[in-house]
């Protein structure tokens, strides 16, 4: 091709692309949400004199054009592809792939945040749990299982030490050695319920209810699952499957949601079509629920202060208790708990993932 | 508005291109002026009035200097006073008040005025126009549309290069548009866009990672220094590439602003290759009027001192910038006195190392929040702060950004350009390259768009100047 022809072709292709892309973007209907990123997309901002003068309109318009661009997902995938395959980057926006699993870098250790969790537990214990046997456990995030020399990760030993040194009169249940990377979903932050037998054994032994867990579980595969991380790191990965462990006791148990004042089952199969299918376990993020075991042979009660990891573990405790109360203090202030719960001699378990412990400002 | 934004690339630019090329020749300047004002208004809805005021002042003073030649010095002084007054008010008032408060233990309240984007660039353009009219180097521009188009021309408005009125005087009245210019402009613009988004932004990420971490090591300080040196070059030269490219699309020819500065073998050579439009501006409008080289030794020292003090402070109202400028001033004096001759006697590689090391130290000072931070970081380069040589944190990011570093280092030399130019001399290979060029341009555009869609890190360093 000679220079003249090249110049005409470059001009033609570039201008055509720009103009066609402009027109199509203009005509394209607005998308409401990005399913992969689990967030609402920016909408065309309203133009007012005030917003124009303050500059908020133009900022929002920039966000709008970026959010609503045609082939947004494909562009995000292209970026991931270039980051890993051309630039040989080890992560893309702090997300990386390790042994087929998508992981988000969590570093550095926020010591103040860890101390905040320890103090929070102490305060709750002091206020409500003076007559209770109190335990706590720490759930490692997926970074813990990566090669220390290859990837950066927080100082997990230090996190444990800060918790142990500062939490008073609570027994620590160490489950770090009961888990491995394969026990977590490939595309999500959470662990797989069907892989928690070792964790269940350790916790139930330490808390003394292992002998009350008699009935075996049946594993049922429910639905294919693309977790939160699949959207955040748009590269090709194997799909996960949500499975549930069930038996007649779990099936008969009822869940009461204090917020909606409704009863439901332990496994909420209406969430199969939701954006986050992990919500099948105890209906997802809720401030306060109780699970009542209608076939219980015991009066024992358990209170769990937990994050979302607890949703898939708690159902495995049901046989051992008459009632389990699950409290998520990300969504309810601790001062309000006495309005709903009568604290007396229940077993109490605090279980938080290292991700929450390292970012604890969200705990109320 | 940023060149490297979806709103510019896929909304503003296509609209302007369509309207501009559909408009008759005599109205093209008005279209460019309106587009430029919209471009500026998008980012500075209030301070656009400052720019319009400056343009009107420059326009009226140009007319007055031309019409009342007897009093032209008075009009020159009032014009410079107004232009520099606005620059000092917005850019340096806090710095001056803060220093007065420190020296005299006073408590004058800071004005805390936000810095209008691009004020340093358009002020210098207006000054050059008025001074050139005063010196009768250019004819006065009687059309305010043309003068306003020159000053506010969006391709170079907010981060340069500092285009002289004399350079585009003819093109403001009569410019040609061709497929050749358009294609060259597109290529230059897209290469600039890719340099900014794919290299400068990534180097910016790594600079920030090492600037913000507590997990420092000796190697991390070196990585920070090298990354920032490369970032500022790729960031600023990318903006100049985009400006020159956009200028070409609309029929303007701006002068080059960078010429591979990191291949220099002396600091003197470095400043002939770095931010050329600024250094030549100071040379022509400060250094030479002060007497330049043709003065006694003491006056020569004074001239160099003044120019480099101004070069430093032009970049920002902070002592770090003044020290940065003075450092180069001192080095240039030393090179003038004896070092250049001494450098000629040593192998090239050591001359390159000398330049790169000095420039890296200078940019560490340049980017520091204060002198203490700069000294701490420079000490870190030599392990004086007691950090380990390398830690896992540094190693991780070294591995992760190694390819970017290699691309950036190669890209900061003319190696690739020379190879392509040599290959193009063979007609058959030239035809093959021509075949791939449109594909490469579109691929770079698409990849850059992908990064814009997914990236949060996208500031232009020279916007703050």
Q: Are A325 and A256 in contact (CB under 8 A)?
A: no
Q: How far is A45 from chain B (nearest CA, A)?
A: 14
* pLDDT mean over A286-305: 92
A323 touches chain B (CB under 8 A): no
pLDDT above 90 (res A179): yes
Residues above pLDDT 70, as percent of chain B? 98
What are the DSSP E strand ranges found in B59-199? none
* pLDDT mean over B338-343: 89
**A140 vs B107, residue with greater confidence:** A140
Answer whether A65 sits within 8 Å of B45, measured CB to CB.
no
pLDDT above 80 (res B464): no
Q: How far is B381 from chain A (nearest CA, A)?
A: 22
Answer whether A108 sits within 8 Å of B215, measured CB to CB.
yes
pLDDT at site A3: 85
pLDDT above 60 (res B462): no
pLDDT above 60 (res A166): yes
Residue B3: name the closest of B159, B168, B172, B221 by CA. B159
pLDDT at site A61: 94
Locate the chain B residue with the closest alpha carbon to A84: B400
pLDDT above 50 (res B457): no
All structural domains of chain A with their residue ranges: 3-98, 108-362
**Helices B165-173 and B119-134, packing angle to 10 deg:** 80
Query: What are the C-alpha distances in Å from A62 to residues A40, A144, B10?
Result: 15, 38, 11
Confidence band of B463 (pLDDT split at 50, 70, 90): low
Q: Are B14 and A22 in contact (CB under 8 A)?
A: yes
Of A8-17, A42-51, B190-199, B221-230, the poorest mean pLDDT is in: A42-51
Q: Which two tokens stand for residue A320?
A: 């051992």
pLDDT above 50 (res A30): yes
Summarised one tens digit per residue, pLDDT across range B290-313 is 998 888 888 988 999 999 999 999
Confidence band of A285 (pLDDT split at 50, 70, 90): confident
Chain B positions in Cβ-Cβ contact with residue A18 (cut-off 8 Å): 9-10, 13-14, 17
pLDDT at site A59: 92
Q: How far is CA A216 from the centre of its chain?
A: 27
With 0-12 CB in 10 A as exposed, 13-18 as middle and 19+ as buried, what is B66?
middle
Chain A interface, best mutation among B180, B198, B454, by max A CB count within 10 A: B454
pLDDT at site A297: 83
Q: Which two tokens stand for residue A296?
A: 């219980």
CB atoms inside a 10 Å sphere around CB B336: 15
Radius of gyration of chain A (CA): 25
Confidence band of A275 (pLDDT split at 50, 70, 90): confident
A283 CB contacts (<8 Å, ≥6 apart)?
A: A255, A257, A264, A268, A271, A289
Locate the chain A residue with the closest alpha carbon to B452: A66
Q: How far is A111 from chain B (nearest CA, A)?
A: 13
DSSP track, B359-370:
HHHHHHHHH-SS
Residue-averaged pLDDT of chain A = 92
Residue-averaged pLDDT of chain B = 93
Question: Looking only at Cα atoms, what is the longest distance across chain B?
Answer: 74
pLDDT at site B81: 96
Phi and psi angles of residue A158, each rounded to the nearest 5 degrees, phi first: -65, -40
pLDDT at site B460: 54
Summarised one tens digit per residue, pLDDT across range A220-230 is 999 998 888 88
What is the reported pTM? 0.90
Locate the chain A residue with the closest alpha carbon to B18: A19
With tokens 């024992």, the residue in question is: A300
Q: Are B134 and B72 in contact (CB under 8 A)?
A: yes
A89 touches chain B (CB under 8 A): yes
CB atoms inside a 10 Å sphere around CB B23: 14
Q: Which two tokens stand for residue A279?
A: 């919500």
Gap between the Cα atoms of B254 and B166, Å rounded: 11
Range 258-317 of A in CB contact (< 8 A) with B? none
Q: How far is B201 from chain A (nearest CA, A)?
A: 13
- Number of CB pairs < 8 Å for A and B? 142
Question: CA angle, corner A38, sides to A37 and A43, nearest 5?
Answer: 85
CB atoms inside a 10 Å sphere around CB B10: 24
Summarised one tens digit per residue, pLDDT across range A62-102 is 999 999 999 999 999 999 999 999 999 999 989 999 999 99
What stretches of chain A show up as alpha helix (H) in DSSP?
3-27, 49-54, 56-67, 72-85, 111-128, 156-166, 197-207, 228-232, 248-252, 309-313, 354-357
Residue B3: name the closest of B462, B316, B437 by CA. B462
Confidence band of A150 (pLDDT split at 50, 70, 90): confident
pLDDT at site B459: 54
Chain B positions in Cβ-Cβ contact with residue A69 (cut-off 8 Å): 6, 10, 449, 453
Chain A positions in Cβ-Cβ contact with residue B215 (cut-off 8 Å): 108
pLDDT at site B456: 52
pLDDT above 70 (res B458): no
Confidence band of A147 (pLDDT split at 50, 70, 90): confident
Query: What are the C-alpha distances in Å from A293 to residues A253, A262, A297, A308, A349?
Result: 5, 16, 9, 21, 18
Answer whether B186 sits within 8 Å of A11, measured CB to CB.
yes
Query: What are the C-alpha distances in Å from A34 to residues A24, A67, A231, A272, B324?
Result: 19, 9, 9, 18, 46
Residues paired with A102 in a beta bridge: A97
Radius of gyration of chain B (CA): 23
Exposure class string for B209-248: b at 16+ Cβ within 10 A, else e: bbbebebbbbbbbbbbbbbbbbbbbbbbbbbbbbbbbbbb
Chain B positions in Cβ-Cβ contact with residue A25 (cut-off 8 Å): 10-11
pLDDT above 50 (res B271): yes
Query: What are the C-alpha distances in Å from B440 to residues A83, B444, B448?
Result: 18, 6, 12
A131 CB contacts (<8 Å, ≥6 apart)?
A: A343, A344, A345
With 0-12 CB in 10 A as exposed, 13-18 as middle and 19+ as buried, what is B102?
exposed
Summarised one tens digit per residue, pLDDT across range A236-260 is 888 899 999 999 999 999 999 999 9
* pLDDT mean over B94-98: 93
Answer whether B451 sits within 8 Å of A89, measured CB to CB.
no
Catalytic (active-site) positions of B: 315
Q: How far is B231 from chain A (nearest CA, A)?
A: 16
A55 touches chain B (CB under 8 A): yes
With tokens 């050329």, the residue in question is: B276
Answer whether A1 sits within 8 Å of B434, measured CB to CB.
yes
Answer whether B452 sits within 8 Å of A66, measured CB to CB.
yes
Of A270-279, B257-266, B440-449, the poorest mean pLDDT is in: A270-279
């Amino acid at each position: 091709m000679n220079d003249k022809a090249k110049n005409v072709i470059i001009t033609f292709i570039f201008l055509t692309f720009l103009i066609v892309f402009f027109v199509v973007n203009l005509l394209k209907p607005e998308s409401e949400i990005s399913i992969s990123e689990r967030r609402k997309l920016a909408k065309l901002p309203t133009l007012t004199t005030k917003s124009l003068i303050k500059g908020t309109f133009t900022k929002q318009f920039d966000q709008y054009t970026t959010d609503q661009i045609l082939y947004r997902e494909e562009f995000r995938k292209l970026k991931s592809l270039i980051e890993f395959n051309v630039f040989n980057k080890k992560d893309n926006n702090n997300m990386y792939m390790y042994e087929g699993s998508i992981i988000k870098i969590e570093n550095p250790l926020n010591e103040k945040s860890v101390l905040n969790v320890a103090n929070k537990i102490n305060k709750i214990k002091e206020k409500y749990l003076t007559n209770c046997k109190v335990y706590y456990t720490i759930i490692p995030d997926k970074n813990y299982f990566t090669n220390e020399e290859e990837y950066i990760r927080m100082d997990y030993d230090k996190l444990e030490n800060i918790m142990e040194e500062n939490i008073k009169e609570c027994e620590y249940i160490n489950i770090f050695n009961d888990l491995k990377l394969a026990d977590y979903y490939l595309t999500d932050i959470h662990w797989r319920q069907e892989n928690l037998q070792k964790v269940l054994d350790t916790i139930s032994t330490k808390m003394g209810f292992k002998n009350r867990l008699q009935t075996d579980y049946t594993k049922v595969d429910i639905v294919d699952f693309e977790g939160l991380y699949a959207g955040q790191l748009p590269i090709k990965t194997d799909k996960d499957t949500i499975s549930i462990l069930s038996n007649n006791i779990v099936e008969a148990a009822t869940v009461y949601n204090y917020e909606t004042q409704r009863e439901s089952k332990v496994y909420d199969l209406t969430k199969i079509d939701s954006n986050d299918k992990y919500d099948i376990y105890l209906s997802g993020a809720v401030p306060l629920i109780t699970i009542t075991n209608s076939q219980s042979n015991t009066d024992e009660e358990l209170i769990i202060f937990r994050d979302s990891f607890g949703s898939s573990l708690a159902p495995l405790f049901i046989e051992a208790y008459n009632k389990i109360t699950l409290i998520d203090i990300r969504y309810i202030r601790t001062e309000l708990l006495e309005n709903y719960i009568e604290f007396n001699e229940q077993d109490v378990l605090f279980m938080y993932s290292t991700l929450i412990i390292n970012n604890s400002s969200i705990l109320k | 508005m940023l060149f490297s934004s979806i709103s510019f690339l896929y909304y503003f630019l296509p609209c302007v291109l369509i309207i501009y090329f559909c408009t008759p020749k005599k109205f093209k300047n008005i279209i460019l002026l309106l587009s430029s004002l919209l471009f500026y208004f998008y980012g500075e809805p209030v301070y656009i009035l400052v720019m319009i005021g400056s343009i009107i002042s420059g326009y009226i003073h140009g007319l007055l200097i031309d019409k009342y030649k007897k009093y032209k010095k008075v009009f020159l002084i009032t014009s410079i006073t107004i232009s520099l007054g606005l620059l000092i008010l917005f850019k340096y008032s806090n710095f001056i008040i803060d220093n007065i408060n420190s020296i005299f233990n006073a408590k004058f309240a800071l004005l805390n005025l936000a810095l209008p984007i691009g004020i340093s660039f358009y002020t210098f353009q207006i000054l050059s126009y008025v001074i050139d009219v005063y010196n009768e180097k250019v004819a006065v521009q009687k059309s305010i549309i043309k003068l306003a188009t020159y000053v506010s021309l969006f391709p170079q408005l907010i981060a340069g290069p500092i285009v002289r009125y004399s350079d585009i005087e003819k093109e403001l009245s009569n410019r040609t548009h061709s497929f050749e210019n358009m294609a060259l402009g597109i290529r230059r613009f897209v290469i600039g866009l890719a340099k900014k988004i794919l290299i400068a932004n990534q180097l910016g990420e790594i600079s920030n990672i090492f600037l913000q971490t507590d997990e420092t090591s000796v190697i991390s300080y070196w990585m920070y220094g090298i990354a920032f040196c490369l970032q500022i070059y790729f960031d600023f030269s990318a903006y100049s590439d985009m400006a020159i490219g956009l200028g070409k699309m609309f029929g303007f020819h701006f002068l080059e602003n960078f010429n591979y500065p990191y291949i220099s073998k002396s600091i003197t050579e470095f400043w002939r290759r770095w931010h050329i439009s600024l250094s030549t501006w100071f040379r022509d409008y400060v250094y030479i009027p002060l007497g330049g080289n043709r003065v006694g030794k003491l006056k020569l020292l004074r001239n160099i001192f003044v120019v480099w003090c101004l070069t430093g402070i032009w970049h920002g109202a902070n002592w770090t910038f003044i020290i940065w400028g003075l450092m180069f001033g001192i080095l240039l004096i030393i090179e003038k006195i004896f070092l250049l001759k001494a450098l000629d006697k040593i192998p090239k590689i050591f001359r390159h190392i000398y330049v790169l090391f000095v420039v890296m130290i200078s940019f560490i000072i340049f980017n520091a929040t204060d002198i203490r931070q700069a000294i701490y970081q420079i000490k870190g380069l030599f392990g004086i702060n007691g950090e380990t040589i390398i830690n896992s944190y540094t190693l991780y990011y070294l591995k992760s950004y190694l390819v970017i570093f290699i691309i950036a280092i190669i890209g900061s030399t003319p190696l690739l350009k020379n190879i392509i130019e040599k290959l193009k001399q063979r007609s058959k290979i030239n035809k093959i390259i021509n075949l791939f060029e449109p594909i490469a341009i579109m691929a770079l555009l698409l990849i850059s768009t992908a990064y814009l869609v997914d990236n949060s890190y996208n500031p232009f360093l020279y916007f703050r100047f």
